[in-house]
Structure 1
Amino acid sequence: MNTGSTITAGIDGSRASLDAADWAAREAGRRRLPLRLLQAGTRHRVAARVPDVDVAAGCARSALDRAAIQLSYAHPALDIVARDTETPAVPALLGAAAESGTLVVGTRGHTGHIAAAGFLAGSVALTVAARAACPVVLVRAGELPEDERAFTPGGTPPSAAPYRPVVLGLDLEHPAEDLIGYAFDTAAVRSAPLLVVHAWTRSGHERGASAVPSATVPSLGDADDQEAGRQRALTGTLRPWRHKFPDTPVSEQVVRGHPGDLLLKASTGAGLLIVGRPAGERLGRVARTLIRQVTCPVVVVPHG
């Protein structure tokens, strides 16, 4: 597998990790990439390709084995590799992120004593999203394939329904190409519409999808002038991407208010929410709030 051309999903046996792995398998199928399943804090075994998972006679199947076999039946054309490691969850996931194009984790894992060896308790998922070198997708327990699709009356099968919109929260102070490119590519892979939201506050105290440099938009003037300037800046930022992805429907929203509240509202009915994280910075309060409250999967994309 080539570095950057693999989707990796963390497995710990929790419902959230299994649903995250299923989401990762669907994404790997959409992008025609191999899927790697990784379980940390376990007795080390040699990596196995599915369905030929190595299970010793008389031994119960591990959560990793069960997940690999289930996904191989659900996605028979997918190239799946299952691996476990004795390395603890956070360093194992961060190491996998350095070798993957996308890392997928669940936002709720085991709790209590068992969690010492497992993935994906909330703090682990947040830590990985704050430090990973590749985009990290956080998937809630209970996420189903049909949740990605729009409701279509008249007996249309869920697998044939159109995808729900992809929402990008964009900070015009950091309009990173990696972030915007990921959003456009993700929408294009799904043939889904893309909604780009820039939220701002007049005081400038809110950061993360809220600020814009004074060189682009005047810092003085009334709110209408500032909003118009931000709208022009957003349109200009997205123009080359619209040309690069001419078949992707794109909507723009410039809205004044708290970024977390506005992105939470914008993501209602969305299939995916994408936010950025400047490289070397911690995961912001807005991103952490969205990860905990948004019902659709959230992608944190490092950039800059």
Structure 2
Amino acid sequence: MKRTIVVGVDGSPESRAAADWAAREALRRDMHLRVVHAWLWQPLGAPIVQDRDTEARRSQEVLEEATAELTHRYPSLPLTAEVLQDTPVPALLGAAKDAETLVLGTRGHGVIAGFLLGSYGQQLIAAAECPVVSVRARHGRPVGGPEEGEVVVGQQGGVEESAGVLGFAFEAAAVRKVPLRAVRAWSLPPVYGYSPGSMWIAEQFGGLEPFEKAALEQALEPWRLRYPEVEVVEQVDMGSGGHVLLSAASDAQLVVVGRRVRESSVGARVGSVAHAVLHHAVCPVAVVPHS
């Protein structure tokens, strides 16, 4: 059975852009595309005329319009389509449970104001077990860097912690036949001048920056061996993770970031770096969960 990419559609230009991106990605990676639309009959406790049959018919039309557009553009794409009888978040989380990737649309508000991820999008990215790709839209088509642009990945932590994130990024660069820019951000610890641990690192590696470069090289090594055809550009900069990654991704066609899987008192969280990139990167952003 082919691996599957799931994309959620709702008839909006943003979801059409997400479906288009997902279709091209499925063709690149020789995957099956599953197009889903979530709809659940929920009578309102208000004096508003509702017709269940009309709403059900409209939900089916949303799906048919999306699949017809994709079939016309990509006739060789294997796809299925389904209306899911549930509210959006649980419906899409269920559909993505066995998927390789879940794709969502994002509404843009311009370069300065950033992008509106929406409550559904934030909940899905924070809770999904698979990578989630957020796609920006303009006139119903994906926007972002040029097709020949790099894939940019943010690497943090050690070898095992970043394995899933780097694996996704290397595969994305390989199928696109473009370079991969691996970015690691670092900053001085608050007690740098007094910490024995920090001074030991400085002595062993000649400073914190060489230590960070060595950590990035170590994390990349197994993936370089697995994907020898991928040209890798290493970038280690001082600064916050979000700012460094956004600067590196100005001309990228895809940015890949990690999301640590952990619960807080307010539920699952996206993380500060992923949050910054999701709201301000121009190109599609893939958020990969990791332990």
What is the TM-score normalised by the length of structure 1?
A: 0.77
**Which residue type is aligned with residue 17 of structure 1?**
S
Aligned equivalent of 1:62: 61
Question: How many Å separate the matches in 1 of 2:200 and 2:136?
Answer: 40
Determine whether 1:168 maps to 2:168: no
**Which residue type is aligned with residue 191 of structure 1?**
K
**Which residue type is aligned with residue 232 of structure 2?**
V
RMSD: 2.7
Question: How many Å separate the matches in 1 of 2:68 and 2:40?
Answer: 18
**Secondary structure in 2 matching 1:141:** strand
Deviation string 1:41-79 (CA, Å, 9 cap, x unpaired) is: 246xxxxxxxxxxxx9xx666221101001001000011
Question: How many Å separate the matches in 2 of 1:30 and 1:148?
Answer: 18
Question: How many Å separate the matches in 1 of 2:94 and 2:184?
Answer: 32
Report the count of equivalent residues: 257
| 1:254 aligned residue (214, 218, 236) | 236
**Which residue type is aligned with residue 134 of structure 2?**
L
Contact kept in structure 2, 1:218 and 1:226, CA below 8 Å:
no
Deviation string 1:73-116 (CA, Å, 9 cap, x unpaired) is: 1000011111012200000111112121110001239xxxxxxx
Structure with more strand by fraction: 2
| 1:149 aligned residue (114, 123, 146) | 146
Deviation string 1:130-152 (CA, Å, 9 cap, x unpaired) is: 110100000011274685535xx
Question: How many Å separate the matches in 1 of 2:241 and 2:283?
Answer: 17
**Secondary structure in 2 matching 1:139:** strand
Determine whether 1:186 maps to 2:172: yes
Tell me by how many angstroms 1:218 deviates: 4.7
| 2:252 aligned residue (270, 274, 280) | 270
Aligned equivalent of 1:209: none
**Which residue type is aligned with residue 132 of structure 1?**
A
The 5 Å alignment of 1:100-111 reads 100-108=99-107
Deviation string 1:154-177 (CA, Å, 9 cap, x unpaired) is: xxxxxxxxx210000011246432
Identity among equivalent positions (%) equals 41
Contact kept in structure 2, 1:172 and 1:198, CA below 8 Å:
no
Tell me which of the two structures has the higher relative contact order, counting C-alpha pairs closer than 8 angstroms and 6 or more residues apart: 2
**Which residue type is aligned with residue 251 of structure 2?**
G
Tell me by how many angstroms 1:241 deviates: 1.3
Deviation string 1:3-55 (CA, Å, 9 cap, x unpaired) is: xx100100011111110000000000101111111101246xxxxxxxxxxxx
**Which residue type is aligned with residue 299 of structure 1?**
A
Structure 1 segments unaligned to the other structure (5+ residues): 44-55, 110-119, 151-162, 206-213
Aligned equivalent of 1:302: 289
**Which residue type is aligned with residue 64 of structure 1?**
L
Tell me by how many angstroms 1:224 deviates: 6.6
| 2:120 aligned residue (119, 124, 129) | 124
Aligned equivalent of 1:292: 279
| 1:40 aligned residue (34, 38, 45) | 38
**Secondary structure in 1 matching 2:282:** coil
